[in-house]
């Protein structure tokens, strides 16, 4: 059994992008296991925009990571040692309280098994058939409830969640417009994922592009970005339009809050604006897998992962989420797959 654990701990609250010294990689001893506990070796660490919000001392759906504490993060690993009657050495699991570390010690009640989907790599269980897929699926099917022929606009559409959300909406018969940064990402959306149109926010005005692509307005918005892009879509929602607020990534590194839309429009246009968290849908994961699983298995639903190697580079990897320097779901390979 290993005796030393590398862990990233939070040393100070970042201002803007994470800088050297905001987190520190330290070595700590691994405690002896108690009855009912397992030692989980981290194989993959999921990097998500919400990781950045946990570093801020602000109210959120989870408490902020405390200074001196191990950085919180979703992980997938393998049981390396066990004093549990429920899990054996070699089992693939996800700890409820994962962290940016080589290992996690957890009670068997705070670990869930990874049920391998036939034919899919392990990375799929932290992406398309994991939390990412659930976020996209339920954001579309449960929050927005698209009807055939309606138009949906998705910001950060080439990202892990947005790219899947658009494909789910297409399966429901919606017309989908994606907003992404760069010609190559926009080409991927339209030529490979089947989006009806894509807007490159780096090269054209989003509002003007929407006026061209949807001159009568849009029924739905799957919002991941916030700020000026959100305002452009919000101002073009039709009466009784629906907006699913999944993320506001433009504000996560901001030292000043980005502009907000005119909320008076919620009244005048009787809009339904709803925030949601994937945690609310964890108990319904089988619904998502039942419908999306066959699409993933036969290749009709496409997905990407971007895997960086090594725990020491996790901080630089997280910054990729805010610079756009990645494709699809962002993971760090902390150790070799079993």
DSSP symbol at 99: B
What distance in Å separates the CA atoms of residue 241 and residue 129, rounded to the nearest whole number? Answer: 29
Distance CA 334, CA 6 (A): 11
| Residue with the two structure tokens 């005005």 | 205
Please work out, in degrees rounded to the nearest 5, the angle formed at the alpha carbon of residue 193 by the alpha carbons of 189 and 194: 95
pLDDT at 223: 97
Number of residues that make up the chain: 338
pTM for the full predicted model: 0.91
- Beta strands 75-82 and 37-46 are antiparallel
Phi then psi dihedrals of residue 190, to 5 deg: -85, -40
Q: Kindly tell me the burial class for residue 234, based on how many C-beta atoms sit within 10 Å of its own C-beta (0-12, 13-18, 19 or more).
A: buried
Residue carrying the six token digits 């001159």: 215
Q: Distance between CA atoms of 55 and 22, rounded to whole angstroms?
A: 9
For 158-176, write each residue's pLDDT tens digit: 999 999 999 999 999 999 9
Helix (H) or strand (E) holding 95: strand 92-95
Residue 240 pLDDT = 98
The pLDDT score that the predictor gives to residue 256 is 74
Q: What letter would DSSP give residue 123?
A: G
Q: What is the pLDDT of residue 255?
A: 67
Q: What is the pLDDT of residue 200?
A: 98
The residues of the chain scoring below 70 in pLDDT are: 254-255
Compute the C-alpha angle 129/229/321, nearest 5°.
45
Q: What three-state secondary structure class fits 17?
A: coil
Question: What are the residues whose beta carbons fall under 8 Å from the beta carbon of 89, sequence distance 6 or more?
Answer: 79, 80, 81, 82
């Amino acid at each position: 059994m290993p005796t030393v654990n590398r862990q990233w701990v939070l040393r100070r609250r970042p201002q803007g992008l994470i800088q050297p010294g905001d987190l520190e990689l330290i070595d700590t001893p691994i405690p002896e296991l108690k009855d009912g506990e397992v030692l989980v070796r981290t194989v993959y660490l999921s990097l998500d925009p919400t990781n950045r919000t946990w570093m801020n001392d602000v109210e959120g759906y989870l408490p902020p990571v405390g200074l001196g504490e191990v950085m919180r993060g979703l992980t997938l690993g393998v049981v390396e040692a066990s004093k549990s009657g429920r899990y054996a050495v070699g089992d693939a699991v996800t700890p409820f309280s994962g962290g940016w570390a080589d290992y996690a010690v957890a009670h068997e009640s705070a670990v869930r098994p990874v049920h391998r989907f036939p034919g899919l790599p392990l990375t799929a269980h932290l992406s398309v058939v994991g939390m990412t897929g659930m976020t996209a699926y339920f954001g579309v099917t449960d929050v927005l409830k698209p009807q055939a022929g309606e138009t949906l606009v998705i910001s950060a559409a080439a990202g892990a969640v947005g790219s899947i959300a658009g494909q789910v909406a297409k399966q429901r018969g919606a017309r989908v417009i994606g907003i992404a940064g760069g010609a190559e990402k926009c080409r991927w959306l339209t030529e490979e994922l089947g989006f009806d149109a894509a807007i490159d926010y780096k090269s054209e005005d989003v509002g003007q592009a929407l006026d061209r692509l949807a001159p009568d307005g849009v029924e739905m918005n799957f919002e991941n970005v916030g700020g000026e892009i959100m305002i452009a879509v919000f101002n073009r929602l039709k009466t009784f339009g629906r907006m699913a607020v999944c993320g506001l990534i433009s504000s996560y590194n901001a030292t000043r809050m980005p502009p907000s839309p005119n909320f008076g429009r919620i009244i005048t246009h009787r809009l339904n604006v709803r925030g949601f968290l994937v945690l609310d849908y964890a108990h319904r994961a089988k619904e998502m897998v039942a419908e999306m699983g066959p699409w993933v298995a036969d290749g009709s639903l496409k997905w990407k992962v971007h895997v960086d190697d090594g725990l020491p580079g996790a901080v630089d990897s997280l910054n990729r989420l805010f610079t756009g320097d990645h494709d699809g779901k962002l993971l760090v390979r902390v150790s070799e797959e079993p």
